[in-house]
Amino acid sequence: MHILHVVGARPNFMKAAPVYSALAARNVRQTLVHSGQHYDFNMSDVFFEQLGLPAPDINLQVGSGSHAQQTAQIISRFEAVVLEQKPDLVVVYGDVNSTVAAALVCAKLLVPVAHVEAGLRSFDRTMPEEINRLMTDQVSSWLFTPSPDGNENLKQEGVAPDKIHLVGNVMIDTLVRMLPQTAARIPSDLPARFALVTLHRPSNVDDIPWLSSMLQELSKISAELPVWFPVHPRTRERLQNAGLNGHAQALRLMDPLPYLDFLALQTRATAVITDSGGIQEETTYLGISCLTVRENTERPITATMGTNTLVGRRIERVRDEVQNILRGDTKKGSIPPLWDGHAAERIADILAGT
């Protein structure tokens, strides 16, 4: 059997690493294709190094661009790869443009697709990622879900039950494996209590008035709770172009961090303020208070079972929730079923047995 993996952005790397390793342990032939969707060293190459993924066999080098441009380039370049490599099946991850582009190519070429992290829904079709999720799941033959809500969503959409497999969360597989290595990554000047912030979604960072207000609020929060803010390239560009760097002088701004370095901060944070999907899951496993500045989430289990609070884009709600955390009024959560570090092994058992 020949399995081809497609990755394109840093969350994909964290999901693919344990699956690749589990299949390698079963002596499955594998090819790793990197679309090049993330091309910054700290957003891409260093992740391969830290996660133990081999260097990609093929890099499509698509770079940045609009959703349409990026997706079209991946489709065009990936088709030739599939025709040359002739894989028995292709594994795609998450909900980025690389995921849906690869799935569409395979559907046209009648190559079976396995979708890792299937079934997640925000029910907000203004999100490009939601469209990617919906389309990928409709053309996939194996749908590996991280939580029971994923199974229910897929059944509601008419996906055949025998295609759906509840396996757990592969992101947690990587976290469990890498967690012991974080002790050596703690910055010497890390405060005993601090807030960790990530913002990257266009709906947030492209809204300059909102971004300005958020930065001002974070500056106020930093008077009581130091704010450490690894800045996504998109966000940094918005800050510079809008002249907002002055609004962030009270914050500890830094470049995007490699996985281990970010995980070291995350495990020790008093609170995490984010619009990321994966961080909602990681904080739930770690038991860290997470405030998600989005109106919806495709990972509702992190709010119903975990430590995630969906605060929307209301700045005053962020302020109130941070005050609650500082008073010790934190949300008590639990770890969802099958988030045990063995999801990839369950996936490999299914795929290797086909």
Judged against a pLDDT cut of 80, whether residue 42 lies above it is answered with: no
Q: Which of 241-245, 279-283, 304-308, 324-328 has the lowest mean pLDDT?
A: 241-245
Label residue 342 exposed, middle or buried (CB < 10 Å: 0-12, 13-18, 19+).
middle
Share of the chain above pLDDT 90, in %: 86
The predicted pLDDT at position 106 comes to 98
- The partner residues of 230 in beta bridges, in order of sequence, read 254
The catalytic residue among 2, 38, 115, 200 is 200
Which whole number is the average pLDDT over 188-200?
Answer: 97
Q: In the structure, what pLDDT confidence band is assigned to residue 39 with cuts at 50, 70 and 90?
A: low
Active site residue 200: yes
d(CA 135, CA 208): 31
Label residue 246 exposed, middle or buried (CB < 10 Å: 0-12, 13-18, 19+).
exposed
The predicted pLDDT at position 50 comes to 86
Cα-based angle 276, 281, 284 (whole degrees, multiple of 5): 125
CATH topology of domain 2-169+339-352: Rossmann fold (3.40.50)
Rg (CA), the chain: 20
Are the folds of 2-169+339-352 and 180-326 the same?
Answer: yes
**Cα-to-chain-centroid distance, residue 302:** 14
Q: What is the pLDDT of residues 228-246, one digit of tens each?
A: 999 998 899 999 999 988 8
Judged against a pLDDT cut of 90, whether residue 267 lies above it is answered with: yes
* Domain 180-326 part of CATH 3.40.50.2000: yes
pTM score above 0.85: yes
Residue 63 falls in which region: left (phi positive, over 0), alpha (psi -120 to 50) or beta: left
Share of the chain above pLDDT 70, in %: 97
Of 34, 41, 43, 40, nearest to 11 (Cα)? 43
Residue 168 falls in which region: left (phi positive, over 0), alpha (psi -120 to 50) or beta: left
The predicted pLDDT at position 246 comes to 81
Give exposure, 262-280, as e/b (b: 16+ Cβ within 10 Å): bbbbbbbbbbbbbbbbbbb
**Cα-to-chain-centroid distance, residue 50:** 16
Which whole number is the average pLDDT over 78-106?
Answer: 97
Say how many C-beta atoms besides its own lie within 10 A of residue 261's C-beta. Answer: 19
Q: In the structure, what pLDDT confidence band is assigned to residue 40 with cuts at 50, 70 and 90?
A: low
Q: In the structure, what pLDDT confidence band is assigned to residue 63 with cuts at 50, 70 and 90?
A: confident
d(CA 163, CA 156): 14
The predicted pLDDT at position 41 comes to 45
User: Domain residue spans in the chain?
Assistant: 2-169+339-352, 180-326
